[in-house]
Amino acid sequence: MGVIASINPATGETLRTFEALTDAQIDEKLARAERAYRTYRHSSFAERARWLAAAAGILESERDRLGRIMTLEMGKTIGSARAEAAKCALACRYYVEHGERLLADEVVEAGGGRSYIRYQPIGAVLAVMPWNFPFWQVFRFTAPALMAGNAGLLKHASNVPQCALAIEEIFDRAGFPPGVFQALLIGSNQVARVIDDPRVKAVSLTGSEPAGAEVASRAGRQLKKTVLELGGSDPFVVMPSADLDRAVRTAVEARTINNGQSCIAAKRFIVDARIAEEFERRFVKTMEALRVGDPMDEATQVGPLATPEILEALDQQVRRSVEMGARLLTGGKRVAPLRGNYYPPTVLTDVPKDSPAWREELFGPVAVLFRAEGIEGAIELANDTEFGLGASAWTNDEAEQHRFIDELEAGLVFINGMVASDPRLPFGGVKRSGYGRELSAWGIREFVNVKTVRVA
């Protein structure tokens, strides 16, 4: 059925290869998930909390080992990889503490007897997950899904198979019943048959817009629910009243976090014309000072992109935008002395409206600067995108803050802060950034039967 390869993006070295599951092996795993669910759905919240707490303990105590796997497979800096493992533990502990309360029977005064809402699991849920946060993306789906009593099936990105198997091992060691969580090492061409299988009840996907559309349409034909977290072209708006030092520091971090490969990374920097020149000067200087290199080196700030294909696509987007008239302020050329998929921190401005840098998501350390005439122009530029995942606005003017909160078209709006996910807050987008929510109460209730009960 094909080979799934784990390749170090810093060196191009093939670390390990795996044979993709055969149709018979897939069927065996689906049958195992179905059997496990029938029993697991009757487990108590206390039991699920105990197993999930054990998973959190493994993530915390072994974050060095797990972080190394992430860095080797997809190139994130080792410090951020360790932090990712710790954040996964945080999500597990959130649902350990709050899961039972979030799914408790909800009494409704409807007269004529007793009425309440009961939240019950639905079965095996398929998670189609991306490589950029290879642990966090999985755990922010799995922690609430398993706490709700569902079984989880993971189709991870094909370039992070060792991460997928490490996550499966964590749940096994934590004590979850066999089959409650399974990694499926399969190619994208095998996903359709898993979605079509009646033992799979729903699908959660984090990934590209085309992948989301394909999975959602396939699931829709089977009348199965989907939650989609897709791309973003997040605006980072800076107004004259902002603390410029903090705004510049955060802007650089927000653009280069995870080597620039994050759906909620700030990508379009929209600065009021009155302060644009000063912001541009500081921003470019700070981007140029970033250290690019081996992601295993603690001092590295920007590592390689995950695959050669991603590097090539980003390079083409930048070159095409420059050919169409965009002005390059720094970067824009591949890092020649380094092996691997390295691309330098890059800043573009004067970007034409029909260029890739204006219309497309740039998945790498490339920032695009815009100048806005006042808050009206800033909001218009910020919303001039098909995406609507996150948005960050920097202003100390209270009236401006209220306008940004009300008028920015995004699932997350952060004022004077960097957009980030948090287990306590719902996460998701609008427009072509997807639908549904992960995390918080909203996330744990996505894949449950919201059952109305009325006792006369």
Residue 339's DSSP bridge partners are: none
pTM: 0.97
Residue 319, burial from CB neighbour count under 10 angstroms (0-12, 13-18, 19+): middle
Q: Taking Cα atoms as reference points, which of 230, 168, 141 lies closest to residue 444?
A: 141
Confidence of residue 112 (pLDDT cuts 50, 70, 90): confident
What mean pLDDT comes out for the span 115-120?
A: 98
CA dihedral 43, 47, 49, 53 (to 10 degrees): -140
- Residue 44 sits in a domain whose CATH number is 3.40.605.10
What mean pLDDT comes out for the span 415-442?
A: 98
Same structural domain, 167 and 303: no
In this structure, is residue 343 part of a structural domain?
A: yes
In this structure, is residue 123 part of a structural domain?
A: yes
Same structural domain, 337 and 275: yes
Share of the chain above pLDDT 90, in %: 98
Whether residue 3 is predicted with pLDDT greater than 80 in this model: the reply is yes
- Residue 293 sits in a domain whose CATH number is 3.40.309.10
Phi, psi of 47 (to 5 degrees): -65, -45
Whether residue 336 is predicted with pLDDT greater than 80 in this model: the reply is no
Residues in the chain: 456
Distance CA 95, CA 196 (A): 30
What average pLDDT does the structure give for the chain? 97
pLDDT at position 447 is 98
Same structural domain, 338 and 225: no
In this structure, is residue 329 part of a structural domain?
A: yes
Same structural domain, 345 and 370: yes
Q: Which of 159-168, 312-321, 335-344, 363-372 has the lowest mean pLDDT?
A: 335-344
* 229 a catalytic residue: yes
Whether residue 367 is predicted with pLDDT greater than 80 in this model: the reply is yes
Whether residue 338 is predicted with pLDDT greater than 80 in this model: the reply is no
Tens digit of pLDDT for each residue in 126-170?
Answer: 999 999 999 999 999 999 999 999 999 999 999 999 999 999 999
What mean pLDDT comes out for the span 184-212?
A: 97
pLDDT at position 342 is 96
The DSSP code for 406 is: H
What mean pLDDT comes out for the span 243-263?
A: 98
Confidence of residue 1 (pLDDT cuts 50, 70, 90): low
What mean pLDDT comes out for the span 238-253?
A: 98
Share of the chain above pLDDT 70, in %: 100
CA angle 114, 118, 124 (to 5 degrees): 160
In this structure, is residue 427 part of a structural domain?
A: no
Same structural domain, 111 and 148: yes
Same structural domain, 449 and 384: no
Tens digit of pLDDT for each residue in 290-320?
Answer: 999 999 999 999 999 999 999 999 999 999 9
Same structural domain, 265 and 410: yes
pLDDT at position 140 is 97
In this structure, is residue 10 part of a structural domain?
A: yes
Same structural domain, 135 and 195: yes
Structural domain for 205, as ranges = 3-230+433-455
Same structural domain, 222 and 242: no
Whether residue 173 is predicted with pLDDT greater than 80 in this model: the reply is yes
In this structure, is residue 428 part of a structural domain?
A: no
Same structural domain, 264 and 406: yes
Same structural domain, 376 and 250: yes
In this structure, is residue 308 part of a structural domain?
A: yes
Structural domain tally of the chain? 2
pLDDT at position 6 is 97
Q: Are 94 and 107 in contact (CB under 8 A)?
A: no
Q: In what order do the strands lie in the sheet with 366-372?
A: 327-330, 346-349, 366-372, 266-272, 234-238, 390-394, 412-415
What mean pLDDT comes out for the span 66-83?
A: 98
Q: Taking Cα atoms as reference points, which of 9, 61, 6, 7 lies closest to residue 295?
A: 9
pLDDT at position 146 is 98
Same structural domain, 438 and 327: no
* 298 a catalytic residue: no
Among 88, 92, 163, 263, the active-site one is 263
Distance CA 432, CA 82 (A): 31
Give alpha helix (H) positions in 367-407: 374-383, 398-407
In this structure, is residue 91 part of a structural domain?
A: yes
Among 73, 229, 400, 446, the active-site one is 229
pLDDT at position 113 is 93
Neighbouring C-alpha atoms within 13 Å toward the C-beta of 374: 1
pLDDT at position 391 is 98
Using DSSP's 3-state secondary structure scheme, residue 2 falls into coil
Whether residue 337 is predicted with pLDDT greater than 90 in this model: the reply is no
Which residues does 127 contact at the CB level (< 8 Å), separation at least 6?
138, 141, 142, 145, 152, 153, 154, 155, 203, 204, 205
Whether residue 93 is predicted with pLDDT greater than 70 in this model: the reply is yes
